[in-house]
Amino acid sequence: MDNYTNDNTARRYKAHVSILGTTQLHLRNPYIIAWWSAAFPGFGHLLLSKYLRGYALFIWEVVVNVKAHVNSSMIYSFQGNIDMAKEVLDTRWLLMYIPVYLFGIWDSYRTTVDLNKVYLLAEREEHRFNSFSIGALEINYLDKRNPFLSVMWSFFIPGLGQLYIHRILTAVFTIIWLVAFYYYSHAQEAVVLLFLGKVKEATSVLKPEWFLFIPSHYGFAIYDSYINTVENNKLFEKELRNHLTENYQSECFKILKGQKVK
Amino acid sequence: MIHLQLFSTFETTEFLEIAISTLEKKGIKKESIFAVPLDNRKEDRKIFDTLHRSDGTSLIDIGMGLATALSVIGASIGFKLSLGPIYWGLIGAFVGFVVGFAIRLFMELVVKKKKRILKGKHSEIILIVDCEEIQAELVEDILWSHFALGVAKVK
Protein backbone atom coordinates (compact mmCIF):
# COMPACT_ATOMS: atom_id res chain seq x y z
CA MET A 1 0.00 0.00 0.00
CA ASP A 2 1.32 3.39 -0.95
CA ASN A 3 0.33 6.88 0.17
CA TYR A 4 0.14 8.10 -3.40
CA THR A 5 -1.36 6.46 -6.45
CA ASN A 6 0.49 7.53 -9.50
CA ASP A 7 -1.88 8.94 -12.10
CA ASN A 8 0.98 9.86 -14.44
CA THR A 9 0.13 13.54 -14.32
CA ALA A 10 3.71 14.58 -13.81
CA ARG A 11 6.08 14.97 -16.69
CA ARG A 12 8.92 13.90 -14.41
CA TYR A 13 9.12 12.51 -10.89
CA LYS A 14 12.17 13.17 -8.75
CA ALA A 15 11.80 10.23 -6.39
CA HIS A 16 9.93 7.03 -5.68
CA VAL A 17 9.65 5.16 -2.42
CA SER A 18 8.93 1.49 -2.96
CA ILE A 19 9.12 -1.77 -1.05
CA LEU A 20 12.58 -2.43 -2.51
CA GLY A 21 14.11 0.96 -1.80
CA THR A 22 14.10 4.71 -2.23
CA THR A 23 14.95 5.69 -5.77
CA GLN A 24 15.76 9.33 -6.32
CA LEU A 25 17.23 11.71 -8.80
CA HIS A 26 19.83 14.09 -7.43
CA LEU A 27 22.82 15.98 -8.75
CA ARG A 28 25.87 13.80 -9.19
CA ASN A 29 29.36 14.48 -10.44
CA PRO A 30 29.68 12.61 -13.77
CA TYR A 31 33.44 12.17 -13.31
CA ILE A 32 32.97 10.44 -9.95
CA ILE A 33 30.34 8.11 -11.43
CA ALA A 34 32.62 7.40 -14.41
CA TRP A 35 35.46 6.67 -12.01
CA TRP A 36 33.43 4.00 -10.21
CA SER A 37 32.62 2.41 -13.57
CA ALA A 38 36.36 2.35 -14.27
CA ALA A 39 37.07 0.78 -10.87
CA PHE A 40 34.53 -1.94 -11.59
CA PRO A 41 32.10 -1.98 -14.53
CA GLY A 42 28.54 -1.75 -13.21
CA PHE A 43 29.28 0.30 -10.09
CA GLY A 44 28.55 3.60 -11.84
CA HIS A 45 25.16 2.31 -12.95
CA LEU A 46 24.34 0.90 -9.53
CA LEU A 47 25.07 4.35 -8.05
CA LEU A 48 22.54 5.79 -10.50
CA SER A 49 19.96 3.16 -9.43
CA LYS A 50 20.08 1.63 -12.91
CA TYR A 51 20.25 -1.87 -11.55
CA LEU A 52 19.75 -4.07 -14.61
CA ARG A 53 22.56 -2.42 -16.53
CA GLY A 54 24.70 -2.43 -13.41
CA TYR A 55 24.14 -6.12 -12.74
CA ALA A 56 24.81 -7.05 -16.36
CA LEU A 57 28.06 -5.10 -16.56
CA PHE A 58 29.22 -6.36 -13.17
CA ILE A 59 28.65 -10.03 -13.98
CA TRP A 60 30.27 -9.55 -17.38
CA GLU A 61 33.29 -8.04 -15.68
CA VAL A 62 33.70 -10.92 -13.23
CA VAL A 63 33.36 -13.66 -15.85
CA VAL A 64 35.48 -12.14 -18.59
CA ASN A 65 38.10 -10.72 -16.25
CA VAL A 66 38.66 -14.07 -14.56
CA LYS A 67 38.73 -15.97 -17.87
CA ALA A 68 41.06 -13.50 -19.59
CA HIS A 69 43.24 -13.15 -16.44
CA VAL A 70 43.02 -9.36 -16.56
CA ASN A 71 43.48 -9.03 -12.79
CA SER A 72 46.58 -11.25 -12.84
CA SER A 73 47.98 -9.17 -15.65
CA MET A 74 47.30 -5.99 -13.68
CA ILE A 75 49.13 -7.37 -10.68
CA TYR A 76 52.19 -8.23 -12.79
CA SER A 77 52.05 -4.79 -14.43
CA PHE A 78 51.95 -2.98 -11.07
CA GLN A 79 54.91 -5.12 -9.99
CA GLY A 80 56.80 -4.05 -13.09
CA ASN A 81 56.89 -7.57 -14.52
CA ILE A 82 55.71 -6.68 -18.03
CA ASP A 83 56.74 -10.01 -19.58
CA MET A 84 54.56 -11.98 -17.20
CA ALA A 85 51.77 -9.41 -17.60
CA LYS A 86 51.69 -10.21 -21.31
CA GLU A 87 52.22 -13.92 -20.82
CA VAL A 88 49.35 -14.48 -18.39
CA LEU A 89 46.59 -12.93 -20.55
CA ASP A 90 44.30 -15.37 -22.36
CA THR A 91 43.79 -13.95 -25.84
CA ARG A 92 40.79 -16.22 -26.38
CA TRP A 93 38.87 -13.92 -23.98
CA LEU A 94 40.83 -10.68 -23.91
CA LEU A 95 39.64 -8.50 -26.79
CA MET A 96 35.94 -8.62 -25.95
CA TYR A 97 36.77 -7.25 -22.49
CA ILE A 98 37.88 -3.85 -23.76
CA PRO A 99 34.79 -2.43 -25.53
CA VAL A 100 32.42 -3.38 -22.74
CA TYR A 101 34.76 -1.92 -20.11
CA LEU A 102 34.91 1.39 -21.98
CA PHE A 103 31.18 1.33 -22.66
CA GLY A 104 30.50 1.07 -18.91
CA ILE A 105 32.56 4.18 -18.22
CA TRP A 106 31.16 6.17 -21.12
CA ASP A 107 27.54 5.19 -20.59
CA SER A 108 27.53 5.95 -16.86
CA TYR A 109 29.12 9.35 -17.55
CA ARG A 110 26.58 10.15 -20.26
CA THR A 111 23.66 8.96 -18.15
CA THR A 112 24.76 11.09 -15.20
CA VAL A 113 24.87 14.22 -17.34
CA ASP A 114 21.38 13.43 -18.66
CA LEU A 115 19.93 12.57 -15.27
CA ASN A 116 21.28 15.81 -13.81
CA LYS A 117 19.22 17.72 -16.38
CA VAL A 118 16.18 15.56 -15.68
CA TYR A 119 16.65 16.22 -11.96
CA LEU A 120 16.66 19.99 -12.44
CA LEU A 121 13.38 19.83 -14.37
CA ALA A 122 11.77 17.36 -11.96
CA GLU A 123 12.83 19.52 -9.02
CA ARG A 124 11.18 22.58 -10.57
CA GLU A 125 8.04 20.64 -11.43
CA GLU A 126 7.73 19.61 -7.76
CA HIS A 127 5.15 16.95 -8.46
CA ARG A 128 4.02 14.75 -5.62
CA PHE A 129 5.63 11.32 -5.43
CA ASN A 130 5.10 8.21 -3.38
CA SER A 131 6.83 8.63 -0.01
CA PHE A 132 5.52 5.72 2.03
CA SER A 133 5.12 2.09 1.18
CA ILE A 134 3.95 -0.79 3.31
CA GLY A 135 3.38 -4.34 2.16
CA ALA A 136 3.48 -7.95 3.22
CA LEU A 137 7.24 -8.18 2.80
CA GLU A 138 8.66 -4.80 3.77
CA ILE A 139 8.03 -1.23 4.91
CA ASN A 140 9.83 1.73 3.41
CA TYR A 141 9.45 5.44 4.14
CA LEU A 142 11.41 8.65 4.14
CA ASP A 143 13.32 9.48 7.29
CA LYS A 144 16.73 10.45 8.55
CA ARG A 145 19.59 8.03 8.98
CA ASN A 146 23.15 8.63 10.10
CA PRO A 147 25.69 8.61 7.23
CA PHE A 148 28.52 7.59 9.56
CA LEU A 149 26.62 4.49 10.61
CA SER A 150 26.17 3.59 6.94
CA VAL A 151 29.92 3.86 6.47
CA MET A 152 30.62 1.84 9.59
CA TRP A 153 28.39 -1.06 8.58
CA SER A 154 29.75 -1.02 5.03
CA PHE A 155 33.23 -1.30 6.51
CA PHE A 156 32.23 -4.45 8.38
CA ILE A 157 30.48 -6.12 5.45
CA PRO A 158 29.81 -4.27 2.18
CA GLY A 159 26.04 -4.30 1.72
CA LEU A 160 25.07 -3.82 5.36
CA GLY A 161 25.21 -0.03 4.94
CA GLN A 162 22.73 -0.42 2.06
CA LEU A 163 20.48 -2.61 4.22
CA TYR A 164 20.52 0.11 6.88
CA ILE A 165 19.12 2.66 4.41
CA HIS A 166 16.77 0.14 2.77
CA ARG A 167 18.61 -0.09 -0.53
CA ILE A 168 17.68 -3.73 -0.88
CA LEU A 169 18.69 -4.28 -4.52
CA THR A 170 22.25 -3.05 -4.00
CA ALA A 171 22.54 -4.70 -0.58
CA VAL A 172 21.65 -8.21 -1.74
CA PHE A 173 23.78 -8.01 -4.87
CA THR A 174 26.79 -6.61 -3.01
CA ILE A 175 26.65 -9.20 -0.24
CA ILE A 176 26.24 -12.17 -2.58
CA TRP A 177 29.26 -11.13 -4.61
CA LEU A 178 31.30 -10.32 -1.53
CA VAL A 179 30.79 -13.90 -0.35
CA ALA A 180 31.87 -15.18 -3.77
CA PHE A 181 34.99 -12.99 -3.76
CA TYR A 182 35.88 -13.96 -0.20
CA TYR A 183 35.42 -17.64 -0.95
CA TYR A 184 37.37 -17.81 -4.20
CA SER A 185 40.15 -15.46 -3.06
CA HIS A 186 40.66 -17.32 0.27
CA ALA A 187 40.91 -13.84 1.83
CA GLN A 188 39.30 -14.86 5.12
CA GLU A 189 41.83 -17.66 5.56
CA ALA A 190 44.59 -15.16 4.88
CA VAL A 191 43.20 -12.78 7.52
CA VAL A 192 43.12 -15.57 10.12
CA LEU A 193 46.73 -16.43 9.26
CA LEU A 194 47.68 -12.75 9.60
CA PHE A 195 46.14 -12.68 13.08
CA LEU A 196 48.33 -15.68 13.91
CA GLY A 197 51.34 -13.72 12.62
CA LYS A 198 51.94 -16.02 9.65
CA VAL A 199 52.41 -13.33 7.00
CA LYS A 200 54.12 -15.54 4.38
CA GLU A 201 51.47 -18.27 4.56
CA ALA A 202 48.76 -15.60 4.36
CA THR A 203 50.20 -14.30 1.10
CA SER A 204 50.61 -17.72 -0.42
CA VAL A 205 47.07 -18.87 0.39
CA LEU A 206 45.51 -15.92 -1.50
CA LYS A 207 44.24 -16.28 -5.07
CA PRO A 208 45.37 -12.92 -6.51
CA GLU A 209 42.97 -12.70 -9.45
CA TRP A 210 39.97 -12.99 -7.10
CA PHE A 211 41.51 -10.98 -4.28
CA LEU A 212 41.86 -7.94 -6.52
CA PHE A 213 38.07 -7.59 -6.80
CA ILE A 214 37.71 -6.93 -3.07
CA PRO A 215 39.18 -3.40 -2.64
CA SER A 216 36.85 -1.88 -5.25
CA HIS A 217 33.93 -3.77 -3.75
CA TYR A 218 34.58 -2.20 -0.34
CA GLY A 219 35.19 1.26 -1.78
CA PHE A 220 31.98 1.19 -3.76
CA ALA A 221 29.84 -0.13 -0.90
CA ILE A 222 31.10 2.54 1.48
CA TYR A 223 30.70 5.37 -1.01
CA ASP A 224 27.27 4.24 -2.20
CA SER A 225 25.81 3.84 1.28
CA TYR A 226 27.24 7.19 2.40
CA ILE A 227 26.00 9.37 -0.45
CA ASN A 228 22.62 7.69 -0.55
CA THR A 229 22.11 8.22 3.18
CA VAL A 230 22.91 11.90 2.72
CA GLU A 231 20.59 12.24 -0.28
CA ASN A 232 17.77 10.31 1.42
CA ASN A 233 18.05 12.71 4.36
CA LYS A 234 17.81 15.70 2.05
CA LEU A 235 14.77 14.19 0.35
CA PHE A 236 13.11 13.65 3.74
CA GLU A 237 13.65 17.29 4.68
CA LYS A 238 12.33 18.64 1.40
CA GLU A 239 9.27 16.43 1.56
CA LEU A 240 8.45 17.47 5.14
CA ARG A 241 8.88 21.15 4.33
CA ASN A 242 6.56 20.80 1.35
CA HIS A 243 4.01 19.04 3.50
CA LEU A 244 4.09 21.88 6.07
CA THR A 245 3.84 24.57 3.43
CA GLU A 246 0.86 22.89 1.80
CA ASN A 247 -1.07 22.05 4.95
CA TYR A 248 -0.13 24.54 7.64
CA GLN A 249 -0.28 27.97 6.07
CA SER A 250 -3.96 28.82 6.40
CA GLU A 251 -4.96 32.18 4.94
CA CYS A 252 -7.13 33.09 7.93
CA PHE A 253 -4.23 32.70 10.38
CA LYS A 254 -3.50 36.08 12.01
CA ILE A 255 -0.31 36.81 13.85
CA LEU A 256 -0.91 38.18 17.36
CA LYS A 257 1.00 41.39 17.91
CA GLY A 258 1.05 41.18 21.69
CA GLN A 259 3.72 41.02 24.34
CA LYS A 260 5.86 38.05 25.11
CA VAL A 261 4.68 36.54 28.37
CA LYS A 262 6.18 33.96 30.70
CA MET B 1 -11.95 33.86 25.42
CA ILE B 2 -8.38 35.10 25.50
CA HIS B 3 -6.15 33.86 22.74
CA LEU B 4 -2.45 33.19 22.98
CA GLN B 5 0.10 32.40 20.35
CA LEU B 6 3.12 30.20 20.86
CA PHE B 7 6.08 30.83 18.60
CA SER B 8 8.63 28.04 18.31
CA THR B 9 11.48 26.89 16.11
CA PHE B 10 12.39 23.34 15.15
CA GLU B 11 14.89 21.33 13.20
CA THR B 12 13.48 19.34 10.29
CA THR B 13 12.76 16.02 11.98
CA GLU B 14 9.96 13.52 12.43
CA PHE B 15 9.40 14.97 15.91
CA LEU B 16 7.98 18.14 14.41
CA GLU B 17 5.34 16.14 12.57
CA ILE B 18 4.58 14.16 15.72
CA ALA B 19 4.24 17.43 17.66
CA ILE B 20 1.75 18.81 15.13
CA SER B 21 -0.23 15.60 15.15
CA THR B 22 -0.32 15.61 18.97
CA LEU B 23 -1.53 19.22 18.98
CA GLU B 24 -4.32 18.33 16.57
CA LYS B 25 -5.29 15.40 18.73
CA LYS B 26 -5.53 17.73 21.74
CA GLY B 27 -8.06 19.85 19.86
CA ILE B 28 -5.94 22.52 18.17
CA LYS B 29 -7.41 23.14 14.73
CA LYS B 30 -5.28 22.74 11.64
CA GLU B 31 -6.02 26.38 10.72
CA SER B 32 -4.54 27.50 14.04
CA ILE B 33 -1.16 26.02 13.25
CA PHE B 34 1.16 27.99 11.00
CA ALA B 35 4.47 26.58 9.78
CA VAL B 36 7.20 28.47 7.95
CA PRO B 37 10.11 26.42 6.62
CA LEU B 38 13.11 28.75 6.56
CA ASP B 39 15.48 28.87 3.61
CA ASN B 40 18.91 27.90 4.78
CA ARG B 41 21.75 30.33 4.52
CA LYS B 42 23.68 29.64 1.35
CA GLU B 43 27.21 29.95 2.67
CA ASP B 44 26.39 28.06 5.80
CA ARG B 45 28.10 24.83 4.89
CA LYS B 46 29.49 22.30 7.25
CA ILE B 47 32.38 20.11 6.29
CA PHE B 48 30.87 16.93 7.58
CA ASP B 49 27.42 15.65 6.76
CA THR B 50 25.59 14.52 9.87
CA LEU B 51 22.25 13.03 10.75
CA HIS B 52 20.89 16.52 11.23
CA ARG B 53 22.08 18.17 8.11
CA SER B 54 23.91 17.66 4.90
CA ASP B 55 24.53 20.02 2.05
CA GLY B 56 25.98 17.94 -0.73
CA THR B 57 29.54 18.98 0.01
CA SER B 58 30.84 15.47 0.19
CA LEU B 59 34.40 15.29 1.38
CA ILE B 60 34.71 11.58 0.87
CA ASP B 61 34.15 11.35 -2.89
CA ILE B 62 37.75 11.76 -4.03
CA GLY B 63 38.97 10.00 -0.86
CA MET B 64 36.98 6.84 -1.54
CA GLY B 65 38.03 6.86 -5.19
CA LEU B 66 41.72 7.20 -4.39
CA ALA B 67 41.44 4.67 -1.56
CA THR B 68 40.10 2.08 -3.97
CA ALA B 69 42.72 2.82 -6.60
CA LEU B 70 45.70 2.72 -4.24
CA SER B 71 44.29 -0.32 -2.48
CA VAL B 72 44.23 -2.28 -5.75
CA ILE B 73 47.78 -1.18 -6.57
CA GLY B 74 48.97 -1.78 -3.00
CA ALA B 75 47.49 -5.27 -2.94
CA SER B 76 49.08 -6.09 -6.29
CA ILE B 77 52.54 -4.98 -5.30
CA GLY B 78 51.99 -6.46 -1.86
CA PHE B 79 52.23 -9.98 -3.28
CA LYS B 80 55.96 -9.28 -3.69
CA LEU B 81 56.51 -7.42 -0.42
CA SER B 82 57.13 -8.93 2.98
CA LEU B 83 53.89 -7.69 4.58
CA GLY B 84 51.76 -9.31 1.88
CA PRO B 85 48.78 -8.08 -0.15
CA ILE B 86 46.22 -7.64 2.65
CA TYR B 87 48.33 -5.27 4.72
CA TRP B 88 49.52 -3.37 1.64
CA GLY B 89 45.97 -3.21 0.31
CA LEU B 90 44.81 -1.69 3.59
CA ILE B 91 47.77 0.69 3.69
CA GLY B 92 46.99 1.76 0.11
CA ALA B 93 43.34 2.34 1.00
CA PHE B 94 44.24 4.38 4.06
CA VAL B 95 46.82 6.52 2.27
CA GLY B 96 44.48 7.05 -0.69
CA PHE B 97 41.62 8.09 1.54
CA VAL B 98 43.74 10.51 3.57
CA VAL B 99 45.24 12.08 0.46
CA GLY B 100 41.84 12.41 -1.28
CA PHE B 101 40.24 13.74 1.85
CA ALA B 102 43.05 16.27 2.28
CA ILE B 103 42.63 17.43 -1.32
CA ARG B 104 38.90 18.05 -0.81
CA LEU B 105 39.48 19.68 2.56
CA PHE B 106 42.03 21.99 0.98
CA MET B 107 39.56 22.86 -1.79
CA GLU B 108 36.83 23.63 0.71
CA LEU B 109 38.87 25.58 3.23
CA VAL B 110 41.39 27.42 1.10
CA VAL B 111 40.09 27.52 -2.46
CA LYS B 112 36.41 28.12 -1.78
CA LYS B 113 36.94 30.08 1.45
CA LYS B 114 33.37 29.56 2.51
CA LYS B 115 32.39 30.96 5.84
CA ARG B 116 31.43 28.47 8.48
CA ILE B 117 30.09 30.52 11.32
CA LEU B 118 27.09 28.80 12.78
CA LYS B 119 27.77 25.95 15.13
CA GLY B 120 25.39 23.45 16.67
CA LYS B 121 21.71 23.10 16.02
CA HIS B 122 19.88 25.26 13.51
CA SER B 123 16.39 26.63 13.50
CA GLU B 124 14.95 25.38 10.27
CA ILE B 125 11.21 25.70 10.73
CA ILE B 126 9.12 28.30 12.55
CA LEU B 127 5.91 26.94 14.04
CA ILE B 128 3.21 29.25 15.38
CA VAL B 129 0.28 27.82 17.32
CA ASP B 130 -2.83 29.81 18.11
CA CYS B 131 -4.72 28.57 21.18
CA GLU B 132 -6.88 29.57 24.12
CA GLU B 133 -5.16 30.66 27.30
CA ILE B 134 -6.12 27.53 29.22
CA GLN B 135 -4.46 25.34 26.59
CA ALA B 136 -1.24 27.35 26.52
CA GLU B 137 0.62 25.29 29.07
CA LEU B 138 -0.32 22.02 27.38
CA VAL B 139 0.79 23.32 23.98
CA GLU B 140 4.05 24.58 25.41
CA ASP B 141 4.73 21.19 26.98
CA ILE B 142 4.06 19.43 23.71
CA LEU B 143 6.41 21.76 21.83
CA TRP B 144 9.23 21.35 24.33
CA SER B 145 8.84 17.61 24.61
CA HIS B 146 9.21 17.27 20.85
CA PHE B 147 12.56 19.03 20.85
CA ALA B 148 11.60 22.59 19.97
CA LEU B 149 14.77 24.68 19.93
CA GLY B 150 12.97 27.69 21.40
CA VAL B 151 9.44 28.58 22.47
CA ALA B 152 7.85 31.97 23.26
CA LYS B 153 4.30 32.84 24.33
CA VAL B 154 2.67 36.03 23.03
CA LYS B 155 -0.50 37.44 24.54
Residues B108, A64: Cα–Cα separation, whole Å: 41
**Radius of gyration of chain B measured on its C-alpha atoms:** 25
Residue B88, pLDDT above cutoff 90: no
Q: Tell whether B32 and B66 lie within a shared domain.
A: no
Size of interface A-B (CB pairs under 8 A): 168
Q: Which of B35, B58, B78 is facing A244, going by the closest CB pair?
A: B35
Residues A215, A181: Cα–Cα separation, whole Å: 11
Q: What pTM, to 2 d.p., does this model score?
A: 0.83
**In chain B, what residues touch A253 (CB-CB under 8 Å)?**
31-32, 34, 128, 130
Residues A69, A56: Cα–Cα separation, whole Å: 19
CA distance B104 to chain A (A): 13
Structural domains of chain B, count: 2
Name all contacts of A56-61 with Cβ < 8 Å and 24+ positions apart.
Answer: A57/A100, A57/A104, A58/A173, A58/A177, A60/A100, A61/A100, A61/A101, A61/A104
Q: Which chain A residue is nearest to residue B73, measuring alpha carbons?
A: A78
Report chain A's mean pLDDT, rounded to a whole number: 92
Q: Which of A223, A236, A252 is facing B64, going by the closest CB pair?
A: A223
Residue B105, pLDDT above cutoff 80: yes
- Domain contains B101: yes
Alpha-carbon distances of A75 from A69, A187, A216, rounded to whole Å: 10, 16, 15
Q: What band does A54 get if pLDDT is binned at 50, 70 and 90? A: very high
CA distance B13 to chain A (A): 7
A186 burial class (0-12, 13-18, 19+ CB within 10 angstroms)? middle
- Domain contains B117: no
Given the cut 0.90, state whether the ipTM is greater than it: no
Residue A52, pLDDT above cutoff 50: yes
Residue B119, pLDDT above cutoff 60: no
Residues A224, A214: Cα–Cα separation, whole Å: 15
Residue B48, pLDDT above cutoff 60: no
Most confident of B54-68, B91-105, B111-125: B91-105
- Domain contains B78: yes
- Domain contains B120: no
**Radius of gyration of chain A measured on its C-alpha atoms:** 23
Q: Cβ A32–B49 below 8 Å, yes or no?
A: no
- Domain contains B49: no
Domain hosting residue B101, numbered range: 60-111
pLDDT at residue number B54: 46
Closest by CA position to A178, among listed A223, A227, A228, A220: A220
**In chain B, what residues touch A241 (CB-CB under 8 Å)?**
12, 37, 125
- Domain contains B143: yes
CATH code at B27?
3.30.70.260
CA distance A51 to chain B (A): 21
pLDDT at residue number B44: 46
Q: Which of A199, A211, A248 is facing B35, going by the closest CB pair?
A: A248
Q: What band does B75 get if pLDDT is binned at 50, 70 and 90? A: confident
Residues A32, A38: Cα–Cα separation, whole Å: 10
